[in-house]
Amino acid sequence: MTPRPPRIGWAELPRETRAAVEACAGSVTEVDRVEMGERSDIASVLDTEAGKVFAKGVPAADRQAAWLENEARINPYVAGLAPPLRWRVEAGGWLVLGFEYIEGRHVVYSPGSGDMAKLAAVLKALQEIPCPDVVYRRAEWRWKDFTDRAETMAGEAMIHADLNPGNVLITEDRAYLVDWAGTCRGAGWVELAMLIPRLIGHGHGPAEAEEWAAQFTPWRDAAAEDVDLFVAAESIRWDKVAADWPYPRILLAANTSRQWKEWRRGR
């Protein structure tokens, strides 16, 4: 959870890296820097002769490069759900991915938001896609230090695992999911269980958030005791993270996870 250094601008990339990117994308005429996200040292919308592209990258030797490689490997399997990967460049000591630019805004999770139907549609589509072999991370790994029954989160569904508002783009007619670097395989209900505290943090009550999740078959099929175990483990996990890194968004996650846990215990 250690914060990464401030992002650099396009002009600060090595000349060799910029030349390799332009060989794929076309000459860059304008750059719009993007500040959201945590795993990239550069993230920008590049306006080129061939149109706009979203580019993000890290030094190739950085441990975060493995996350970008994960995203590149997964992209072909989530066509229609994520912006297509147009090119991958490794040059000048940097790894840079270029994605089709999507003209959209970040999702609004608040009660009554029309975005929730679009989010539901893209999540239902994701649940229909078999988890490809390139997804090696397993959901239960995240909670193994916080419960002795993490195997209850195991399964073969593909889970995006980071549906923060910055990773859901809304267009006029649909939603796109971005930043698939942390995708894992696990029980299908885990995706929804990870989302519910976010909904609570944006104004939904726990009962309302669970009612929304109930439109999904994996959630309806989940055993209540497995969900209770998840909720307890997730609350412990966020409390530990918040103790080490008491940033506002982490404190919010800890508070909403605790609120959900207490609600389920008091039903």
The CATH number for 122's domain is 3.90.1200.10
Contacts for 60-65: CB closer than 8 Å, 24+ residues apart? 60/90, 60/93, 60/94, 60/95, 61/93, 64/4, 64/39, 64/40, 65/95
119 neighbors 107 (Cβ within 8 angstroms): yes
CATH of the domain at 28: 3.30.200.20
Encoded amino acid at 179, one letter: D
Higher pLDDT, 38 or 165: 165
Whether residue 3 is predicted with pLDDT greater than 70 in this model: the reply is no
pLDDT (tens digit, 9 = 90+) per residue, 136-195?
A: 999 999 999 999 999 999 999 999 999 999 999 999 999 999 999 999 999 999 999 999
Q: 234 lies in which domain range? A: 105-266
Same domain, 55 and 115: no
138 and 54, same domain (yes or no)? no
Is the pLDDT assigned to residue 5 strictly greater than 80? no
The domain boundary, picked from 100, 132, 160, lies at 100
Instruction: For 49-97, write each residue's pLDDT tens digit.
Output: 999 999 999 999 999 999 999 999 999 999 999 999 999 999 999 999 9
Could you tell me the two tokens for 19?
């030349």
Q: Is residue 4 part of a domain?
A: no
Per-residue pLDDT of 217-261, as tens digits, reads 999 999 999 999 999 999 999 999 999 999 999 999 999 999 999
Question: Of 85, 100, 115, which residue sits at a domain end?
Answer: 100
- Asked if residue 117 has pLDDT above 70, the reply is yes
Are 185 and 252 members of one domain? yes
Same domain flag for 153 and 259:
yes
pLDDT in tens, 15-25: 999 999 999 99
- Residue 55 DSSP class: E
Q: What is the pLDDT of residue 2?
A: 54
Contact 252, 172 (CB under 8 A): no
**Residue 27: inside a domain, yes or no?**
yes
Residues 130 and 242 in one domain: yes
pLDDT band at 6 (very low <50, low <70, confident <90, very high): confident
Assigned domain for 3 exists = no
What pLDDT is recorded for position 216? 99
Residue 66 domain-assigned?
yes
In a domain, 1, yes or no: no
Based on the fold, state whether residues 115 and 171 are members of the same structural domain: yes
What's the structural domain count of the chain?
2
76 and 115 in a single domain? The answer is: no
Same domain, 226 and 127: yes
Helix axes 248-266, 189-201, angle to 10 degrees: 110
Domain boundary among 77, 100, 123: 100
